[in-house]
Amino acid sequence: MIDEAIVDFSSSSLMALNAILAVVMFSIAIDLKPSDFRALVRAPKPLIVGLVSQFLLLPALTFVLVILARPQASVALGLILVAACPGGNISNFITHRAGGNAALSVSMTAFATVGAIGLTPLNIAFWGSMYAPSAQILKATHVDPVSIAITVGLMLVLPLVLGVTLNARRPALTALLRGPLQWVSMGIFVAFILLALAANWDLFLAFAGGIAGLVIVHNALGFGGGFALATLAGLSPFDRRAITIETGIQNSGLGLVLIFGFFGGLGGMAIVAAFWGIWHAIAGLTLASIMGRTEARQ
């Protein structure tokens, strides 16, 4: 039973993942300047649409998928948890490759990261309790939303603040660090996920087949939902590409931190987040290569 399976993940591995995630967030933050935030305050519509897509639309679409597919409890809660996380750490790079508004993408990542302190635990608790099997897991684990909020703050918001501050005060230094740090941090993150999968390969092979289809559909709902909402809101193709990718690229690294930190590495949840971490990059880069063939009107 996947709901009873536990992924082997030591406390030292969790600490390493926390550190990697903080470095990845810092590498994104040094791309940001205070002026980026002020520009979006003056013209906030694309940002608001993007955050609604990220924190309201995607969790709602995830719940519909769960109700229709009726997966096992831990798988359902894994999908809900991933949907409750902010945008992923490679969304900015993929948006740039797609010819979308990279500045909007970076700012969405920043705002969503700050918003995740409250919205991520709220979405996990709300949507998880709406599906009876996953509600049982939430009750059994006694997850404290405040503890989740503190974890999100330390892993994401603190590196964000430090990165923006460094970029504002030492722009020459961040210009040197930006490219190498983003590639190195992403490489370490991907390697870490692959090593974790290798250590639990038998468990992954036993259950990944049934989970893969759900993750692929879930990811497609993210991209499709973001595109549809941005289109209905009348945004330009330039902004629409950014919102599409931001909604479909989720911070599965944060998802893994929460799963191992608060849910004891529950098998279905961990495999969902790990497969998401691989698949959304493949799907996002493929989508970017298609979008990037034509220039987006701003």
Q: Mean pLDDT per segment of 10 residues, for the chain of length 298 residues? A: 52 68 77 71 86 96 96 92 86 83 82 86 93 87 74 78 86 81 73 68 67 92 96 93 94 83 78 83 88 75
Note the pTM of the prediction, 2 decimals. Answer: 0.83
Q: Residue 238: name the closest of 70, 80, 105, 83 by CA.
A: 105
| Beta carbons of 50 and 43 less than 8 angstroms apart | no
d(CA 77, CA 218): 13
| Beta carbons of 145 and 268 less than 8 angstroms apart | no
Q: Supply the pLDDT for residue 138.
A: 86
Crossing angle of helices 171-199 and 267-291, rounded to 10°: 130
d(CA 187, CA 190): 5
- List Cβ neighbours of 100 (8 Å cut-off, separation of 6 or more): 238, 239, 240, 241, 242, 244, 245, 291, 296
| Beta carbons of 211 and 268 less than 8 angstroms apart | yes
Q: Which domains does the chain have, with CATH numbers?
A: 11-291 (1.20.1530.20)
Query: Could you tell me how many residues make up the chain?
Result: 298
Q: Supply the pLDDT for residue 197.
A: 67
Q: Supply the pLDDT for residue 122.
A: 92
Crossing angle of helices 73-84 and 132-141, rounded to 10°: 80
Ramachandran category for residue 234: left, alpha or beta (phi over 0 → left; psi -120 to 50 → alpha):
left
